Amino acid sequence: MQPNLTQVRNEFPAVQETAYLNTGSYGPLSCAVAATIEEANRRQLTDGRLDFSIGGSNQAIAAKLRAGFARVLGCAAAEIALTHHTTDGMNIATWGVRYRPGDEIVTTSWEHPGGLLPVYAAARRFHLNVRVVPLSMDDDDSALLRKFERAIGARTRLVSVAHVSWKTGAVLPVARIAALVHRHGGLIAVDGAQSGGAIPLDMQALQTDFYAIPGQKWLCGPEGVGALYVNKERLGDLLQTYVGYPSLRDGEAFDESGVFLPSPGAARYEVGTIYRPAIAGMWTGLQWLEELGLDWIYDRTQTITRHTREVLSAIPGVRVVQTPTQAGLTSFTIDGVAPTDAVERLAKGGVRIRSVLDPDLLRVSSHFFNDETDIEKLRAGIVKLSQTVA
């Protein structure tokens, strides 16, 4: 049976009063996630933190959560490291590659700092060159691939690229970029901040080496939890930059001579104590999304995003950035209105979207819980704005 959208929306208090159209920054929290976090916090306070086992022991929840993230990413649980956010995952991947001086990292002009800054910092420390593929709003997949073909070569050690552009919403042909870099013997790390929980993912099909996602955006989880996929074939290639107790095969897998044995899976990239209420909340949230059905969520996101694009395209003076395929983001401009101004004025009318810079655009996120009334509020708000310009 299909989930009832009204009931789904009732689970999210934050979507009741406003048209909540900025999941790309933060998804709303559900009542169940918030209740789990509160209960976990209360138990930390009243029972102490020494025998803390809401929903099972901490390690057991972490194991369930890895398996849950693995189902979202379409991979094995042993290929998941729990992280704090996308940026954490991109750092682990970028810093862990075995570089030789003079190697190159290929990235694009539209990366988010969460993926880009680790590239810059690693390049500085390891004396690497960074090649930036210039993206343009006119690129179709073939134009884009030609640009990557020109940039990737024998010296390319890593390609660092977002699956879904946080600026335009374009879905990059990651599988084909991965094939290209693999032909040259390099690796690919994908920033999945705008894809994880928004579109179906299958790590086998995408052929990526590393893929980082957050919990707090399209999975509507708490802040402070994310996941990094590390292809099991690449565990040997990706060095552990940070290590700690959770990185070990077991608690005794180190000795005084400097030897330590890593966990056999991607958990080797996990480091120290994590905020347990967030882990518990994320697990509750993932369970609920799976009960609703991930396929239903992805279908619904596509339907409402298509609707958003159609509605926006029909407003005079609105130009929607056309992308060959879509996830949940839609970017656009309003003639004569600065994006930052539009965000502020729409927020006053209860419509929450955001703007991005360079290219200067407005960005709407449409996710499974959004409905036609949200999009109608957006449309009416934009029409009102446009009238003040004319």
Ligand X SMILES: Cc1ncc(COP(=O)(O)O)c(C=O)c1O
List residues near ligand X by CB under 6 A.
Answer: 25, 85-87, 112, 114-115, 162, 166, 191, 193-194, 214, 226
Minimum distance, C-beta of residue 215 to ligand X, in the bound complex (Å): 8
Minimum distance, C-beta of residue 49 to ligand X, in the bound complex (Å): 26
CA distance 114 to 97: 17
Minimum distance, C-beta of residue 112 to ligand X, in the bound complex (Å): 3
Q: Are 284 and 192 within 8 A, CB to CB?
A: no
DSSP tag of 129: E
Closer by beta carbon to ligand X, 26 or else 288: 26
Minimum distance, C-beta of residue 85 to ligand X, in the bound complex (Å): 3
Closer by beta carbon to ligand X, 25 or else 41: 25
* Angle, alpha carbons 50-57-268 (nearest 5°): 100
Minimum distance, C-beta of residue 248 to ligand X, in the bound complex (Å): 26
Place of tokens 């819980």: 369
Closer by beta carbon to ligand X, 166 or else 229: 166
Closer by beta carbon to ligand X, 43 or else 367: 367
Spatial CB neighbours of 201, under 8 Å, sequence gap ≥ 6: 72, 73, 74, 192, 195, 211
CB neighbourhood size of 327 (10 A): 27
Q: Are 326 and 307 within 8 A, CB to CB?
A: no
Minimum distance, C-beta of residue 263 to ligand X, in the bound complex (Å): 23
| CB burial of residue 176 (10 Å; 0-12, 13-18, 19+) | middle
Residue 117, CB half-sphere, CA atoms under 13 Å: how many?
7
